Amino acid sequence: MNIDIPHISSLLEEHYKRIHTRSFIDADPLQFAHRYNERLDIEIVALLCATIAWGRRKMILSSCEKMLQEMGVSPYDYVMNVDIDSIDTTGRAVHRTFSRGDFVFFIKALRGIYSRYDSMEEIFAPRKGESGTWEGINRFRNEMLLTPHNETNARHISSPMKGSACKRLHLLLRWLVRDDGIDIGLWKKISPSMLSIPLDVHVGNISRHLGILSRSSNDRRAVEEIDRFLRMMDPIDPVRYDYALFGIGESGYIKEHTL
């Protein structure tokens, strides 16, 4: 498919400007990280909410709300001080396939991380010679999996080295790196230019329809293909177009147009 770059550029900018407003937060799981003021509370909430950000949006919001209510006023204090053996692992799943056992694993793993690092940013921040965030994501996965775990726990932390798109971890990075009044911009050691698109089924389908993705699988190589196009559009802040692709999807544009 030939790409009409001026048309795609105009379309992306149109929907970015339309959707990129403060009201976006009210219907997005990003809202939960905005509720906190302390750095470590924010990054813990962002990680947990990004981890369960799949499925129907209303269900995601409900699951995040219930999970954070359990953690009290300071998620960091909960992570570091809760009696882990007292956490119920037999009740209803936190969200879909993210079970109570998975939740306990994340609490244990985060306690371990904060015993070794002052912030998760230290793990994700690029090392010398790294030009993207894939290596940082892999480091984070390895740090989490230092905690005893089973295969079910591990599947909630995607592996870029196995070709995963790592949608939820790229979403976490968008939230915590971009600083635009909607995304939080808490982390300063990672440039927005290094971020990758959080690729889910909807973003993949829209990208294929627009002609900016030819790959049929929603995997790491598909992310890299979309990234190349978005960086051509905006090399400084390419992932701002995540808002545009979301906006195009919810607008009904795809049903009404054939490029």
SS (H, E, C) the chain: CCCCHHHHHHHHHHHHHHHCCHHHHHHCCHHHHCCCCCHHHHHHHHHHHHHCCCCCHHHHHHHHHHHHHHHCCCHHHHHHHCCHHHCCCCCCCCECCECHHHHHHHHHHHHHHHHHCCCCHHHHCCCCCCCCCHHHHHHHHHHHCCCCCCHHHHCCCCCHHHCCCCHHHHHHHHHHHCECCCCECCCCCCCHHHCCCCCCHHHHHHHHHHCCCCCCCCCHHHHHHHHHHHHHHCCCCHHHHHHHHHHHHHHCHHHHCCC
As a whole number of angstroms, the longest Cα–Cα distance in the chain is 58
- How confident is the prediction for the chain on average, in pLDDT? 95
| Cβ proximity of 89 and 96 under 8 Å | no
State the pLDDT confidence band at 259, using cuts at 50, 70 and 90: very low
pLDDT 10s digits, 192-214? 999 999 999 999 999 999 999 99
Q: Where are the domains of the chain?
A: 5-256
* Spatial separation of the C-alpha atoms in residues 207 and 215, rounded to whole Å: 10
pLDDT for position 197: 98
* Spatial separation of the C-alpha atoms in residues 153 and 149, rounded to whole Å: 6
| Cβ proximity of 166 and 153 under 8 Å | no
Q: Is the pLDDT of residue 220 over 50?
A: yes
State the pLDDT confidence band at 1, using cuts at 50, 70 and 90: low
Those residues with Cβ within 8 angstroms of residue 212's Cβ, 6 or more apart along the chain or in another chain? 3, 8, 225, 226, 229, 230
Q: Is the pLDDT of residue 2 over 80?
A: no
pLDDT 10s digits, 71-91? 999 999 999 999 999 999 988
